[in-house]
Chain A
Amino acid sequence: MMIALVVISLSVLAVYQMFITGRELIIEQYQRRYALERAEAWMERMKYYENELDTVPLDFGRTFVDTLVAPGDEHIGIWAECIIDVEHSFERDPGSGMPYYSTVSVTYNWEALSGREYSIRLMSRF
């Protein structure tokens, strides 16, 4: 009887652990979605600069810490490292002196509360 109870208790713990892990993974997907939203916003802002100024200024590149939590969101905020990189083409338009294109990227790196590490990177050439 005692052995049966131990086995059942372990099974319950396993089911509970499965539930907790599933919940963690879903919350981490919310955080990932929010990171993606933020990265897309930075890319769109660079597109706006390219559209208005015909180039993305090099000083737009930066590294900073961002918080992955939406306003009013119940999920705990996570600190993420954001790296924005801008590189101009070597070749330049002889008329305007502007680079032909800019290679831009936005990278978000963060560690979830569970210890899992996540990274997303969006890259384009404007």
Chain B
Amino acid sequence: MTLVEVATVIAISAIVFTGVLIAYTDGIGYWQDTSEEFALYNEGTMALSLMGRFIRNANFIRIRSYSGLPFARLELGYPQEDTWSAAFYFVREDGSLRWNDQTQGRNKFNLKLLPAVEYRQDRDEDPYLTVISARFTPLDDIGSQSPTLIGYSLVRIELILEDSREDTLYLSSVVSKRNK
């Protein structure tokens, strides 16, 4: 084997090894990103589903400011209950989405909806889920058909969630109440 042949083999081997290394590191990194985004997706859709169920059953819907942010608090009223019985609100200070539940005699306040659990792999790691933004936008585009109707009927919920690697995920859902 001549010196040229040896050099050629080493060069090709180096290229092959580099290719394997890039595929390996990129692959592992991408799967980690994706698995963390799946965690955001699962918890985000769980929260959207719960809020959607409360909105569909509500009689009255109003949207207010919270933590100095417009459209950050959603309040819901129900038949046979004389108060705004459920509220969902974004707390900017700790990056969480919280809610109050006073339906059916329950008196629970400041419940944490997102993140659902406290979990960190180690003490210095960022939380696995932080709520960057939660916004409730009214979408009603036809006039009220009833003079007794209070508030809104169609609401878009938008969530922007961030994982510990600072990747973000946007989720949205449009929900209308079913009661007049």
Contact = CB atoms under 8 A, between A and B. Distances in A.
* Main DSSP-derived SS at the B contact region: mixed
B21 to A, nearest CB: 10
A120 interface: no
Contact of A41 (B20, B168, B174, B180): B174
Contacts of A51: 153, 176-178, 180
A82 B160 CA distance: 25
B58 to A, nearest CB: 12
Contacts of B50: none
A47 B176 contact: yes
Interface of A: 1-2, 5, 8-9, 12-13, 15-16, 19, 23, 26, 33, 37, 40-41, 44-45, 47-49, 51-53, 70-73
B145 A37 contact: no
A30 to B, nearest CB: 9
Contacts of B30: 19, 23
Contacts of B153: 48, 51-52
B16 A52 contact: no
B173 interface: yes
Contacts of B15: 9
Given A9-B16, A12-B16, A41-B156, A48 B173 contact: no
B169 to A, nearest CB: 8
